[in-house]
A and B are shown apart, each in its own frame.
Chain A
Amino acid sequence: MSRVRLGNIVDIADGQARGFDPGCTGQDSLFVVRKGGMVYAYSDVCPHYGSTSLPWKRHQYLDAACKYIVCAAHGALFDIENGLCIQGACEGQSLAKIEVEVNACNDMWVDLRIIEEFKS
């Protein structure tokens, strides 16, 4: 089974983010941000350093106003909609986007084969 259910959109409050560890590695490998009716998912790796995950605590991916995604290592800010770093260490670079399929019941699904690609 390469498709993994990440839960339902309602599990994430609007304007909040959540990390997931679908490969059961002990560390979240992707995160989902909910904004309005949309969800955006990214690989949990900061483009500044190849292997640094973003949050200072689990699920802490956003700034206080829930306006930007933040990397807590050096404070880089990323656009929620497209993952582009707009301020900080990796300005101009982007988070790796992960496709999330949302079905009619608002369940979120990702394809684990896509996540594998981001590991190389």
Chain B
Amino acid sequence: MNIIGPDKLIFAVDDVTACKQFALDYGLTQLDDVNFVALDGTGIEIHSKDNASLPEALSTGSMLRKTLYGVADNATVDAIKAELSKDREVKTLDDGSIETMDDMGFVLGFQVTIRQALDLPAETINAPGAPPQRGVNETGVSKEFVAKPRSLSHVVYFVPDAVKAEAFFAERLGFVTTDRFKHMGPFMRPAGTNDHHTLFFLNTPPHMQGVEHFTFHMSGPTEVAQAGNALVEKGYQSFWGPGRHIFGSNWFWYFKSPFGCNVEYDADMDLHDDQWVAREAMPGADNSQVFLLHYEEKWAPGGPPPSKAS
């Protein structure tokens, strides 16, 4: 199945005004009343929790109503419909996308992807021994720079049965497990991308089912730090980070949000193909980050000049 990754996450939230402001402050662009998008057109939809036109909410209170995947072409949409119709209802919506439910009860949609190809440089670095990535007199940072999320990266779900959830995505949709935290859950990528993961499951009691976090890719670690710093300066509260994960190697910074889940910035994810052999580790602080930094208010070195007497 040539599934590329999540095109859109559709939320029905308690505090619409706060969520829309968060989306803007996070760096997404508002397309219309409900759509907030990254540079490649992927993004989130923000609706009110009483919007009756959306799929029903989970009984756990999770505000995510639907994960809409982007696929390569109509043939893939048809193939997914044929496969999933074997044991569940698959609706075709007016826009040509299909809608169904996974084995955990999350609503999924599939459409020909809206993801636009980006032609943008990544963050560049200069290092002794390597050809410079930035030329002479080209500066690396500026205070005025505004970080922009590039692409919807991944979503992480709390699920009551991560083995069952993994089996559905592997066997029915062709996702590949790239790494795994034992007794906790797998990192998975669909066949249409080399990104280490677009999906991660965390095993939890049933009453927790929902979203742990979602995130967008940034151009590099500096952009993660600058975007996160800007959120802190606007008063938002950090949950975890900044730091760098081991599985996936991505830089991260997570923030609490009014979406009822954390929202992350990430950058520089590992890429894998079918030659990759999934690793396994016990979950925990030692295995989830190679380092973790902590935000402090800005400071400047120095102090007053020495007094004449000294």
Report yes or no: B60 in contact with A87, Cβ–Cβ below 8 A. Answer: yes
Q: Does B256 contact A (CB under 8 A)?
A: yes
Q: Does A52 contact B (CB under 8 A)?
A: yes
Q: For B212, give its contact among A54, A56, A70, A74 (CB under 8 Å).
A: A74
Q: Does B276 contact A (CB under 8 A)?
A: no
Report yes or no: A72 in contact with B257, Cβ–Cβ below 8 A. Answer: yes
Interface residues of B in 239-266 (CB under 8 A from A): 239, 255-262
Give chain B residues whose Cβ lies under 8 Å from the Cβ of A26.
297
Give chain A residues whose Cβ lies under 8 Å from the Cβ of B237.
53, 55-58, 72
Report yes or no: B14 in contact with A88, Cβ–Cβ below 8 A. Answer: no
Report yes or no: A75 in contact with B235, Cβ–Cβ below 8 A. Answer: no
Q: For B60, give its contact among A56, A63, A64, A88 (CB under 8 Å).
A: A88
In the assembled complex, the Cα of A58 lies from the Cα of B22 at a distance in Å of 14
In the assembled complex, the Cα of A65 lies from the Cα of B235 at a distance in Å of 22
Q: Does B132 contact A (CB under 8 A)?
A: no
Give chain B residues whose Cβ lies under 8 Å from the Cβ of A54.
256
Q: Does A12 contact B (CB under 8 A)?
A: no
Report yes or no: B61 in contact with A87, Cβ–Cβ below 8 A. Answer: yes
Report yes or no: B210 in contact with A75, Cβ–Cβ below 8 A. Answer: yes
Give chain A residues whose Cβ lies under 8 Å from the Cβ of B168.
none
Report yes or no: A56 in contact with B61, Cβ–Cβ below 8 A. Answer: no
Interface residue tally for chain B (C-beta within 8 Å): 27
In the assembled complex, the Cα of A87 lies from the Cα of B205 at a distance in Å of 12
Q: Does A96 contact B (CB under 8 A)?
A: no
Interface residues of B in 71-85 (CB under 8 A from A): none
Residue in chain A with minimal CB distance to B15: A64
Report yes or no: A56 in contact with B22, Cβ–Cβ below 8 A. Answer: yes
Give chain B residues whose Cβ lies under 8 Å from the Cβ of A57.
235-237
In the assembled complex, the Cα of A77 lies from the Cα of B260 at a distance in Å of 10
Report yes or no: A74 in contact with B210, Cβ–Cβ below 8 A. Answer: yes
In the assembled complex, the Cα of A8 lies from the Cα of B61 at a distance in Å of 35
Q: Does A11 contact B (CB under 8 A)?
A: no
How far is the CB of A27 from the nearest CB of chain B, in Å?
9
In the assembled complex, the Cα of A75 lies from the Cα of B235 at a distance in Å of 19
Report yes or no: B257 in contact with A56, Cβ–Cβ below 8 A. Answer: yes
Interface residues of A in 6-65 (CB under 8 A from B): 26, 52-58, 60, 63-65
Give chain A residues whose Cβ lies under 8 Å from the Cβ of B210.
74-75
Q: Does B63 contact A (CB under 8 A)?
A: yes
Report yes or no: A56 in contact with B236, Cβ–Cβ below 8 A. Answer: yes
Give chain A residues whose Cβ lies under 8 Å from the Cβ of B258.
56, 60, 72
Q: Does B269 contact A (CB under 8 A)?
A: no
Report yes or no: A74 in contact with B14, Cβ–Cβ below 8 A. Answer: no
| Binary CB contact string for chain B from 8 to 21 against chain A (1 if under 8 A, 0 otherwise) | 00000011001000
Question: B: which residues have CB within 8 A of A?
Answer: 14-15, 18, 22, 60-63, 158, 204, 207-208, 210, 212, 235-237, 239, 255-262, 297
